[in-house]
Structure 1
Amino acid sequence: MKAKKGVLLINLGTPDSPKVPDVRRYLDEFLMDGRVIDIGVIQRNLLVRGIIVPFRSPKTAKLYNEIWDKEKGSPLLYISEEQVALLREELSDEYQIELAMRYQNPSIEQALEKLRLAMVDSIRVIPLFPQYASATTGSVIEKVMRLMSTWPTFPEISFVNQFYDNELMIEAFADNGRLKKPETFDHVLFSFHGLPIRQLKNVDNSGNHGCDAPNCCAQISSTNKFCYVAQCHATARLIAEKLHIAPEKYTVCFQSRLGKEPWVQPYTSDALEKLAHEGAKRLLVFSPAFVADCIETLYEITVEYGQEFKKLGGEHVELVPSLNTHPKWIEALKQMVLGEQANIPNMQLGETVVNK
């Protein structure tokens, strides 16, 4: 009998609808994750359920309403489903491919149960976050391992824990950027999702890693190889090199901060203000932390930052579409499933394997 191989693709998550109760459930599950807001559980309960979720849910629901497709639903979900459908076409029937979201539906529990009932011999888990962070990839791995801990028997399981330098992914982003003619813009932004600075202090088990070191993010080293910010800079560098964008013509920045504590800088809003002050009128924005367009790209960048830049004296902010269903991205996923590494030389694809 031919062995059955399981594949589990996991993205961040989305509400079941743009209605306030569904958005509230999504935000509650997301923000109560101890890897997302890494403070004591009592403090987290008070902060999330007492302040953030009650006040943020109605506002966030309005934003989801702006991007929600009346027929297809959440862009993140239906684009992810399209990615899975295309990946199935590229792989043989030997593979059973399931999609899950870290928060809400389709749930990781449901996807794992399908693979368990299929009695697969192995499971390849691919968290769909190019750059490693404890709050994203780390949370996914922890959740999968916790759920599987009750299984009486284990198939072989492996995780792709980062692919920030995957050559096919870089080429796909570059292809999308090339269509926008970056040379016609005054400046290019690579806007990544932000993280609290305190979460960067634990990326080196020796405790020696520090973002204050000169040129800390200039290259990937043994001490910053799991640093989200260093990996973001590496992704931006590789895309810029493909498009022949000079270092002085682009800026790496970070969006979506929450609360008053310091997050990774420069903030995208500050970058917009600085560029407008310098006279820039047209900006091109990549968002390479996301493999599918979602609220952070379709609304936060396209609408919020577009309006903000115009108020500052700029004229236009143009979003480069995410990977979505680009053929090279689907091929990159296929190679990750097969365990092949289509990467830039001297930069290794992170992988963790747990034997059965």
Structure 2
Amino acid sequence: MKHLGKKGVLLVNLGTPDSPSRGAVYRYLKQFLLDPRVIDYPWLPRNLLVRGIIAPFRSGSSAKLYKQLWTEEGSPLKVYGERVAAGVQELLGEEYVVELAMRYQSPSMPDAIDRLLAQKVSEIIVFPMFPQYASATTGSVHDEVMRVFREKDTIPNIRMINSYYDYPAMIDIFADNARQFDLDSYDHILFSYHGLPQRQLRKADDFNHCLQSENCCQRISATNQFCYSAQCHATTRAIAGALQLTPERYTTTFQSRLGPEAWAQPYTSATLEELAKNGAKRILVFSPAFVADCLETIIEIGTEYQEEFEELGGEKVDLVPSLNDDPRWIRIVADLVMEQSGVGTSMG
């Protein structure tokens, strides 16, 4: 079928409060944590937990952290997203229309989709800005796209990107960013990914593979190809391979645990504690689940883990910068979009 209109591109990241005020953070936390793919409890306990405990009690402390993070332009996650969207639009040219959306808060996905449809697009390519697939991130983005279009009579062709956890050009940027540091001067290197409850990892496993062995995530196969943890480990192996790191020099860990239940392990904080006990003084940390530096990288790793490590006797935790608005990353996004739309890659 001939496409008469332009091709729409919907870039979607997780989201950020509209301001660092407690009220804005409360609204963000409430929308985020009420998503049944994020906290996958039944409706009543999820609402009681989020509305009655987490959002009211965490909004104040989180607002203080967002104030540390905020820049004159706004939240880094959103600022970098806007720059990437503008750069991708420039590379793709007039045949495409690019919109940035946040899964939670603004710019909202329904509004961004309406703006694309107003441009008479013939298809929409959905690009979740999460290299590794998880139901709580990419799955939620795809779910919201389908929810929005359930309410519309006309649905254009929709193409959804699933993951790109070992995309060679992306791996090269992470590796190049690490080369800004003297790798030999660090006692250990951590690849710290946002955590997920082990229960959610098992829930996403249709083949009774998850957590059945100590090394179940060390190899990607058809059985675990959509496992978040396995994709994280694959990203680690790819970056470590590019840097020629031997296995004993690095560890894949998971951060941002919430609540008492078991999450993907090992935990970043526990690994830092163990490294400090063994005499480590300098640690380098990647955070390849995030394409833009944000609260979880700048504050959680760059500030909180630094303070924890010092208290344990360590000296330095350095953070490898994320992809942010690197021109090479912008080109990768454009190339992945063009590959998905079946027209090859951009020039150069």
> TM tier, shorter chain?
over 0.9
1:117-137 deviation line (CA, Å, top 9, x unaligned):
111001000010111000000
Conserved 8 A contact 2:19-2:25? yes
- Does residue 45 (structure 1) correspond to residue 47 (structure 2)? The answer is yes
Aligned to 1:209: 209
How many residues were matched structurally? 339
Aligned to 2:142: 141
Conserved 8 A contact 2:161-2:340? no
Q: Which amino acid aligns with 1:76?
A: L
Conserved 8 A contact 1:168-1:331? no
Conserved 8 A contact 2:197-2:264? yes
Distance 2:135 2:303 in 1: 29
Q: Which amino acid aligns with 1:47?
A: L
Distance 1:325 1:243 in 2: 22
How far residue 23 of structure 1 moved from its aligned partner, in angstroms, is 0.3
Aligned to 1:302: 302
How far residue 289 of structure 1 moved from its aligned partner, in angstroms, is 0.2
Distance 1:233 1:131 in 2: 10
Gap change, CA 1:214 and 1:300, over 3 Å in 2: closer
Aligned to 1:17: 19
Farther off after superposition, 262-271 or 83-92: 83-92
TM-score (norm. length: structure 2) = 0.95
Aligned to 1:160: 161
TM-score (norm. length: structure 1) = 0.93
* Structure 1 segment 1-356 matched on structure 2, within 5 A: 3-69=5-71, 71-205=72-206, 207-339=207-339
How far residue 244 of structure 1 moved from its aligned partner, in angstroms, is 1.1
Following TM superposition, the consecutive aligned residue runs of length 4 or more in structure 1 with deviations greater than 6 angstroms are none
The secondary structure found in structure 1 opposite 2:98 is: strand
Farther off after superposition, 217-226 or 304-313: 217-226
How far residue 340 of structure 1 moved from its aligned partner, in angstroms, is 6.0
1:313-356 deviation line (CA, Å, top 9, x unaligned):
00000000000122221121011110169xxxxxxxxxxxxxxx
Aligned alpha-carbon RMSD (Å) = 1.3
Farther off after superposition, 195-204 or 271-280: 195-204
Distance 2:184 2:90 in 1: 36
The secondary structure found in structure 1 opposite 2:162 is: strand
Conserved 8 A contact 2:125-2:340? no
Conserved 8 A contact 1:203-1:224? no
Q: Which amino acid aligns with 1:153?
A: T
Q: Which amino acid aligns with 1:325?
A: D
The secondary structure found in structure 2 opposite 1:258 is: coil
How far residue 214 of structure 1 moved from its aligned partner, in angstroms, is 4.2
1:48-102 deviation line (CA, Å, top 9, x unaligned):
1111111100000000000100x20101000111111111121111100000000
1:148-183 deviation line (CA, Å, top 9, x unaligned):
112211111000011101111111111111112222
Distance 2:306 2:324 in 1: 22
Over the matched positions of the two proteins, sequence identity in percent amounts to 56
Conserved 8 A contact 1:67-1:298? yes
Give the unaligned 5+ runs of structure 1: 342-356
1:241-298 deviation line (CA, Å, top 9, x unaligned):
1011111000110000100011111111101001001111000000000000100001
The secondary structure found in structure 2 opposite 1:183 is: helix
